[in-house]
Structures are given as structure tokens and as C-alpha cells.
Structure 1
Amino acid sequence: MKVARWYGQGDIRLEDESMPVPDSGEALIRVLWVGLCGSDLEEFDSGPIVARPGVILGHEIVGEVLEPAADGTGPRKGQAVIVDVVIGCGRCYWCQRHEEGLCPTLEVRGQTRDGGLAQYLTADASRLVVVPSGVPADRAALAEPVSVAVRALRKIGSLLGRSVVIYGGGTIGMLCAQLAQRGGASTVVVVEPGALRRSVIQRWGVVTMWADAEEERKTLLQGLLPVRGADVVVECSGRSGVAREAARVTRRGGSMLLLGVPVGEENMDLLDLMLAEKSVFGSAAHMWDDDVAVAVDLLSSGALDVDSMITHRVPLEDIGHAFRLLQESGEAAIKLLVDCSSAPGPEDEDENA
């Protein structure tokens, strides 16, 4: 089978390997689509950051069960599934409370453990989330980023009647905007420099804005928000200095949610956070049976528009080209999907024999 292994900065190689052999509780999955995100590009450009050199990248995975688990657990043959990528030790304080994302020895498929940029993989059958038959596989590939947004906004609680500002109009920012709108937020504003991304977001009736200077952005936001300011501010960009700006925009007694992966240390005005009693939340992981399952339900119901977010589709054989597209396309590349089923596999060869 074909796999794409990443060895360091700018070094990803398409290689031939033997088919994986599942354990009794694992299913053999034929990978259909894998979404690439900003963290994949960061590893490719500047890693290793989190990823282990030599790993198969890709943590946004949708596939099809080729061989169900031998012990009878999990989905049946032929079902489309989302593969769980958050893997805890199963024994620590956090894992025992079903908080595997906080496990001190956490492994993530596609970062520290082989991921989805391959034709086949094996996975714990009991933690596969079935995709309803009416959901296109490429749309289902966005279940992982949707689950990130779902988990994050849950930490804030009800958004009904609240004003929400989102910094960063990439995939996660776009999904947070749609979920906030669906959750009854009175005002949703996305702060995003890219004109193309702003035009996509505006299709959903979400307000967007940008100005090059921070003080000008703050002034523009004041004209779009209630007098009290932003009840909730979500930082999705990861750009240097934006978290500090987001904290300043958050109203007194409001909440700030950190989702963007920072590239370095950030200086925060702790006195402002304390005296204005602002709450700061961080969110990173997701759970297969809760956040991912909810994400699949949202995609199945058509509650979210993800089709307009998919800008590129590239076959696995052209994985180097896929990363170059992400490097060079800038804001034009919102969500790039890798087609891992385009190359023939052993079952295809058997059928053609």
C-alpha cells in the first residue's frame, strides 16, 4: 500500500509498505479522505513541533470498514466511519474520567502515531463513529475540525443572545461562526484579513471586518457590538499578538476562548483579566463518543455549510503538491482534502483479476 511519511522540514515521501494487520479489537479501514490543516502545514514547514519524524501525518480521517474487528465490536463491513485520533493511556487520572485529551502521555494519530495519509490503517473498532449513508465521504472528512469547534464552544455554555467575536476566518473560525449563529448568538463578527475568506463567511449572514491597525479594528468592532462589548471572544488565528488583542476586546465579565495554536509565548495583561473578571478557556482535543458524534450529526443534518469550505482535492500520489498548495495558496486554500482511495488497492486488484 501507499503511505506518506514525513521526515522533517519540507520532507514528505510517498512509500510502499505492507498492509497493516489488525488486532482482534481493531478494524481494517480503507482510508477515503484526509483533511490537511494548519498544524500539518506547520510541521511540514517548521517541525518537528509536536509530530514525530517518520510518522504518517493526517488526523482528519474518514474511511470505510474493509474488515470488521474479529471480536465482533464496532461497525460492520462497508460502513463509512470517522477514525478516533485522540489516544490516552487508559489508566491515568484523566483517562479514568474520560478526558483522554488531557492524558500526560497522550498520543495523537497523525502526530505521534501513524495517521491517515495512507491507503489503509487499523483502528480501535469500538471508537469508530459511523457516518450515515447519505453523507458524502468528502464532507464527512470535516468531522474532526467540526468536533474541535463543538468541544470548544461547549466550554462557554449557552450563546443565546450573546455577542461573539471570532479572530481568524480559517476552517475552525468558520465553523465556530456557524455554530455560534446556530446557537442563537445575537451578533457574530469574524475578524479576518483575507478578502476571499470574508466573502465565504458573509454568505452565511455573518458579519466580517478587517483593518490593518489594532486600534482601528477595535473602533470598528465597537460599532458592530452592543455597548457592553463582546460577551465571548474566540481566538482561532494563532497569530502573534492576537490573543492579547482578543483579551482587550472581551467585555468586563466576559469570556475568551483560545483555540489558535500559538507560534510562541504571548504577553497578556493579567491585571486587566483579574480586575475585569474575564474568564479564559483553552480547548484542544475532542472525544469520539461525544464531540465527534455530535459533529457527524451536524454534518448529517445539513446544519453546517462545509461544502463551500472545501477548496482543493488532491490524490495521495501528489502529496508533495498538496503541501505546496497550502504553502503557496494562502487564504485561497481553506480546506484541502487528500484522496487516499484514488490509487488501486489489493481488493481492487482482486476484482480485476
Structure 2
Amino acid sequence: MRAAVLTKPGTFDLREVPRPDPGPDEALIRIARTGICGTDIHIFHGHYAADSLPMIPGHEFTGHIAALGRDVAGLTEGQPVVVDTNIGCQRCYWCRRNEILNCPEMRQMGITMDGGFADYIAVPARLVIPAPEDVPARVLALTEPLACVVRAARKARVTFAQSVLVLGAGPIGNLHVQLLRTIGAAPIIVTDLSPDRVALAVKAGADFGVSDPAELENTVMAATGGRGADIVIESVGHPALYAQAMTLMRKGGHLAAFGLTGAGETLPVDILETILRETSIKGSVAGMGPDMHDALTLLAHGRIRTAPFTGAEYPLEDIQTAFDTFADRPQDLKTQIVMG
């Protein structure tokens, strides 16, 4: 089969490699599409998971079941599927709580092991989620990133009529806005240095959009009665934005830490202020388990505007170009690699 192997930061090698055979408890997936995630960009530039290289990246994939291991029941060859790409031991404290990323034996397809920039992948059948036949593959490939957003909202306990500030209007920021609108959060404020991405986020459901950093604090305070936002979601991964988030949430507010920073970067926190203001911080990065099922349901029932995410497509043969030009295409909220 064909596979795009990231041999070192910045360099893909399109190779012919052996097609995997599914083990007794595995399913072989013929991949249709795989989205490029911000995490993939970090891996591509050597900022994350460098010790996993050489590797086939890609974890936002969808496809059809090509073959099943002898012990697999409940799945059928030819079914369209998505896959929960986080593999835990299923036995430990964290796995029992659906906190797979904390499992001591945790592995992630496309991040710590080979993933979806290939024609086929063999995966544990228990992580395969059948998808509706009438949902296009370009939409199904959004299940994993939406699941990450679902989990963040769940961790932050977002509910109706809460004010939420989203820092960053990229693909994930846009999905945050759309999910917040579906939940009933209000008002929703979004900010980004790109006016085009802010405009897309407002079209997606934000009540206020800010592209001038000098106007952000005034906008947030005016929209929240001078209190600050109930919840601030940092979806960029910049320490300065995390620090700013602390000043823009209200007393008793919550910071949802979502954007990946570099290793070792820190956020200064005034402990006394945190106690007296009763503020909180909670991290969240990957969707898993119920998050994947919920995201698929939302996509299948049209709760997310997917058109802005499905315009940029590259064949597997052009994956190097897709990654090299990624930063030059801010108008493309999502890029998908299409298998033959």
C-alpha cells in the first residue's frame, strides 16, 4: 500500500509499504480521507512527538472496513466508519474514567504510532465506530477534531446563557464557536489576528468578533456587563494568550486550556487571587470514547456547518505540498488528504 512517512521534521517520503493484516481483535480500514490537524503541523515541524519519527502521521481519518479479524463481532465489511485513535490498556484507573491520555500504556494513532496518511490501517475493533451511509467522507473526517471540542465543552461544563470568549478563530476555534452556539452559550466572543477568520467565526455563530487586540478587553467587558467572561477557551497555544485569558474571565470564571504550547512553557498564576476569585483552570486536548460518538451524532444531524472545512483537498501524492503551504492558506480552515 501507499503511505506518507514523515522521515524527519519537514520531510515526507511517499513509500510502498506492506499492507497490515488485522489481528484477531482488529479491523482493517481502507482510508478515504485524513484531515491535517494542528498537532500534525507541530509534528511536521519537529515541535511534538519527534521521538516517534519515522512515522506515518494522521489521526483525523475515515474510511470503510476492508477486513475483520476472526474474533470481531458486530461490524461488517464495507461499513463506513470513524475511529477513536486513543488506545489505552482498558484496565487502569484512568481508562475506567475515560481519561485515556493519562493511561501509562497510552498510544495514539498518528502521534505515537503509525496513523492515517496511508491507504490502510489496522486498528482495535473496539475503537471502530460505524457511521451513517449518507454522511460524506469529507464530513466524517471532521469527527475527531469535533470530538476534541466536545470534550473541552464537557470539561468546562458549558451551559446555556454563559458568556464565552474563544481565543483563536482557526479551525478548532470555529468549531468551538459552533458547538457553543448549539449548547446555547451567550454571548460568544471570538478573537483572532486574521479578520477573515474572525468573519468566518461570526458567520458560524459568534456574537462578537475582534481582530484588533487593542479592542479585545473593551469588547469583552461591554458584552458581559463589566464582569469578564464566564469561560475563556484558549485554542491557539500561546503563553501570552493564556496570561491574557486570566484577566478576561470574571471572578469565579473558568479557563479551558486547549491550545498546545511548547514543552516547559508556564503560566504565572497568582495563588491568592485564584483562591479569592474562585477561578479555575482545566486542560483538555483530545476527544475519546463518548466524545467521538457525540461528535458523530452532531455531524450526522447537521448541527455543524462543515462547508468551510472541506474546500482544501490534496491527493496523498501531494502531501508534502499540503504541509509546506499550510501556513500560507489561512482561508482554508481544514485541509484533507484524499486517498485514491
TM bracket, shorter-chain basis: over 0.9
Measured after TM superposition, the shift of residue 311 of structure 1 is: 3.5
Change (3 A) 1:212 1:188: closer
Contact 2:258 2:285 in 1 (8 A): yes
Q: Which residue of 1 aligns with 2:234?
A: 235
Q: Which residue of 2 aligns with 1:350?
A: none
CA distance in 1, matches of 2:51, 2:269: 31
Measured after TM superposition, the shift of residue 309 of structure 1 is: 2.3
CA distance in 2, matches of 1:205, 1:98: 30
Matched, 1:173 2:173: yes
Task: Describe the SS at the equivalent of 1:101.
Answer: helix
RMSD of equivalent CA atoms: 1.6
Contact 1:235 1:256 in 2 (8 A): yes
Q: Which residue of 1 aligns with 2:337?
A: 338
CA distance in 1, matches of 2:332, 2:238: 17
Matched, 1:210 2:232: no
1:219-258 to 2 correspondences below 5 Å? 219-258=218-257
**Deviation readout 1:143-165 (Å, 9 max, x if unpaired):** 00000000110112242111010
Identical positions, percent: 33
Unaligned runs of 5+ in 1: 343-353
CA distance in 2, matches of 1:106, 1:27: 19
**Deviation readout 1:184-219 (Å, 9 max, x if unpaired):** 112001111112211211213412112244xx4212
Measured after TM superposition, the shift of residue 174 of structure 1 is: 0.9
CA distance in 1, matches of 2:327, 2:205: 29
Matched, 1:141 2:144: no
Measured after TM superposition, the shift of residue 27 of structure 1 is: 1.1
CA distance in 2, matches of 1:50, 1:257: 26
Unaligned runs of 5+ in 2: none
CA distance in 2, matches of 1:266, 1:226: 31
Contact 2:198 2:211 in 1 (8 A): no
Matched, 1:270 2:270: yes
Matched, 1:261 2:260: yes
Q: Which residue of 1 aligns with 2:281?
A: 280
Measured after TM superposition, the shift of residue 240 of structure 1 is: 3.1
CA distance in 2, matches of 1:221, 1:160: 18
CA distance in 1, matches of 2:135, 2:169: 25
Change (3 A) 1:111 1:245: same
CA distance in 1, matches of 2:95, 2:204: 38
**Deviation readout 1:231-280 (Å, 9 max, x if unpaired):** 11111011231011011111000111000001251332323323211011
Measured after TM superposition, the shift of residue 50 of structure 1 is: 5.4
Q: Which residue of 2 aligns with 1:345?
A: none
Measured after TM superposition, the shift of residue 339 of structure 1 is: 0.4
Q: Which residue of 2 aligns with 1:129?
A: 129
**TM-score, normalised via structure 1 length:** 0.91
1:300-319 to 2 correspondences below 5 Å? 300-319=300-319
Measured after TM superposition, the shift of residue 51 of structure 1 is: 5.7
Contact 1:325 1:333 in 2 (8 A): no
**TM-score, normalised via structure 2 length:** 0.94
Measured after TM superposition, the shift of residue 29 of structure 1 is: 0.8
| Alignment length (residue pairs) | 337
CA distance in 2, matches of 1:162, 1:97: 27
Q: Which amino acid aligns with 1:84?
A: D
Q: Which residue of 2 aligns with 1:346?
A: none
CA distance in 1, matches of 2:184, 2:51: 37
CA distance in 2, matches of 1:328, 1:51: 27
Measured after TM superposition, the shift of residue 299 of structure 1 is: 0.3
